[in-house]
Amino acid sequence: MEPEFNNSNNINIHIDDFDGPLELLLHLIKQSEMDIYDIQIEKITRQYVEYLTEMKNLNVNIAGEYFVMASNLMAIKSKLLLPRNDEINEDDDYEDPRDELVNQLLIYQEYKEVSKVLKKMETKTSQYHSVDPVLPSVDEMIDFNDNEKFSIDLIQQAFDRIIDKIKSNEPYVHSVIEWEYTVKEQSTYVMDRLSKQKSVEFDSLFDKTSNVEFVVTTFLSLLELVKEQKVKVGQVDDKLYLEKIVKQGEE
Amino acid sequence: MVSKLAQLESLIYISGEDGITYDSLSSLMELSTSELDALMNQLRDSFQEEDSPFTLMEYSDKVQLATKEELNDLIKGYLQSDESISLTQTALETLTIIAYNQPITRVEVDDIRGVNSSKTVQRLLRQSLIATSGYKKVPGHPKLYTTTDNFLKLFGIKSLNELPKIDNEILLQEEENGGTTTEDNG
Amino acid sequence: MVSKLAQLESLIYISGEDGITYDSLSSLMELSTSELDALMNQLRDSFQEEDSPFTLMEYSDKVQLATKEELNDLIKGYLQSDESISLTQTALETLTIIAYNQPITRVEVDDIRGVNSSKTVQRLLRQSLIATSGYKKVPGHPKLYTTTDNFLKLFGIKSLNELPKIDNEILLQEEENGGTTTEDNG
């Protein structure tokens, strides 16, 4: 694949430096000098997936949300590829498949901008210095203690608070997961299935044991294969079928 | 002899970085609200003088003593370790989203950021920059988060009204999308 | 603008209850001993005024800020009020952890609380609610802290045996999770 954009620019930026998939997308959009209201989904999706692949090749742990965004982008791309019915072409009701993502990016960008202002406010405030409150001596505190302000209950309460905090800090459900499958592997898997059968039902690519990662990655690989014109997808009744595109000169 | 002004300054001084409420000042000094106001103005004026190292930080219903901005370099020379809270970009963004949408659930924050925020929310809770304030009446009863007085202090503002204005049009879109629901935020 | 006098006062203020040495003042403000002496006299004079709440406590090589004696009753009123958190929640939590796990190092306290406790430990030491009792025999030989008789007195108990019984299982878990090790605590 020809390098359509300079990979090294991005590879120098570790995925941990991004605050999530939205920031990574904003970075790519800005770098490509695209209009956020008119994102070239195909180009940006390619850059996004390439970046994730490069990071993955560097054995970097990538949060699941990044892959969810990848599949989201693919889905938008495929919606854009769908032929639009000419009759409703000029209809006001037409919804751009990119709208939701654009909104999400705009909102996120807005908060990002405001947080920069807040950062400046924080920096200014940090130039003011205060000292700890002046403390009564322990003798004075004992003197004050005629109203039993310092009953032993305070210790019990403090202990309960500590336990609460420890519990609330217990490891939450892992958000960073190692992606077990790659788009490349799943492409091979799909092509392999298609080499044995002329036509494969989409659902049959998965069985009960397939986990979400498997399904998402396989779906991504399928979109890639369609893009590369290696596979075509057709619909009969409610079912989707895949077929291998045989180019002239092959087989 | 000490004047009323000295009394006022001493109480603010003693309360240190915790600050002291105007209510406490009134009752300890046996002053009406307007008398206290007048005295506070007098104190502000006296701090304007170049011989005074102090300034007042006011937030929520509290006031606290701090050194003037111009003294920062000198004081940093004395304080070798900077123990001030330093916020990561992630923490800052999460805090911003909570500030503008409070009360807000963690999942609603996640929706805006596009990424899981639970670790960051935990850290902000420990730093007392946010606090829980009840539960949202939706299935699962998730906790609602709001910012604290410490938050105001960190950014040097008296109230949430002093937060930078945000693009209303975008905020409106956000509400339509159902990403967040706010009860007291226009 | 701030004057030299304000600079001097700010440094003494910021040194808090530790105080600051004349040597430090000279070098931070780039003043000769005699220049500093002159400035110190000017500061003493300004503190004489009835509008100033301050006085200087001077030791052989150190100086620290204090409030004038006449203000004692007023300040005592504040310290006794409910608003004055003579022991902050942070201090109480730190004290509780030390009470149940003594002797314990500061790092072990940090592990349980999940935040740095050095400032709080310093304050509790100054208040004589905890004391150091030797060093832990691990690399770095960190100090070990125990509670004092003052601690017992403040909370109105005769011995540590009277501390509220706590769920041992939780404490055990806590120790596993927090990576704390205690030597003489079951």
Least CB–CB distance from A115: residue in B67, B96, B171: B96
Own/partner contacts of B171-176, CB < 8 Å, gap of 24 or more, are B171/A107, B171/A110, B171/B100, B173/A103, B173/A106, B173/A107, B174/A103, B174/A107, B174/B112
Q: β-pairing, B54-59 with B20-21?
A: unpaired
| Kind and range of the H or E run holding A240 | strand A239-244
- The answer to whether B73 contacts chain C (CB < 8 Å) is no
Q: Of A44-53, A58-67, C20-29, C167-176, give the lowest mean pLDDT range.
A: C167-176
Q: β-pairing, C130-135 with C62-67?
A: unpaired
- Measuring CA to CA, how many Å separate A148 from each of A138, A151, C160? 14, 5, 18
Gap between the Cα atoms of A98 and A112, Å rounded: 21
What pTM value is reported for the model?
A: 0.70
Phi-psi region of B178 (alpha: psi -120 to 50; beta: other; left: phi over 0): left
Report, in angstroms and rounded to the nearest whole number, the Rg of chain A calculated over CA atoms.
Answer: 27
Q: Are the beta carbons of A65 and A21 closer than 8 angstroms?
A: yes
- The answer to whether A117 contacts chain C (CB < 8 Å) is no
Q: Which of C163, C157, C154 is nearest to C98 (CA)?
A: C163
Give the pLDDT band (50/70/90) at residue A144.
low
Give the gap in angstroms from C-alpha A65 to the nearest C-alpha of chain B.
Answer: 6
Q: What is the pLDDT of residues A188-234, one digit of tens each?
A: 888 888 888 878 888 788 776 667 677 777 887 887 788 788 888 77
> C99: nearest CA in chain A?
A155
Q: In this complex, do C114 and A161 lie within 8 Å of one another by their Cβ atoms?
A: no
Q: Are the beta carbons of C159 and C147 closer than 8 angstroms?
A: no
- Answer whether residue B42 shows pLDDT above 70: yes
Q: Are the beta carbons of B126 and C113 closer than 8 angstroms?
A: no
| Kind and range of the H or E run holding B104 | strand B104-105
Tokens at A241, concatenated? 């079928």
- The answer to whether B66 contacts chain A (CB < 8 Å) is yes
Q: Are the beta carbons of C148 and C130 closer than 8 angstroms?
A: yes
Q: In this complex, do B2 and C68 lie within 8 Å of one another by their Cβ atoms?
A: yes
Gap between the Cα atoms of A131 and B173, Å rounded: 44
ipTM rounded to 2 decimals: 0.76
Question: What local confidence, expressed as pLDDT, does residue B33 receive?
Answer: 95
Least CB–CB distance from B50: residue in C1, C11, C78: C1
- The answer to whether B56 contacts chain C (CB < 8 Å) is no
More confident residue, C119 or C173: C119
Chain A residues touching B92 at Cβ < 8 A: 115, 118-119, 122
Question: What local confidence, expressed as pLDDT, does residue B183 receive?
Answer: 41
Chain A residues touching C93 at Cβ < 8 A: 158, 161-162
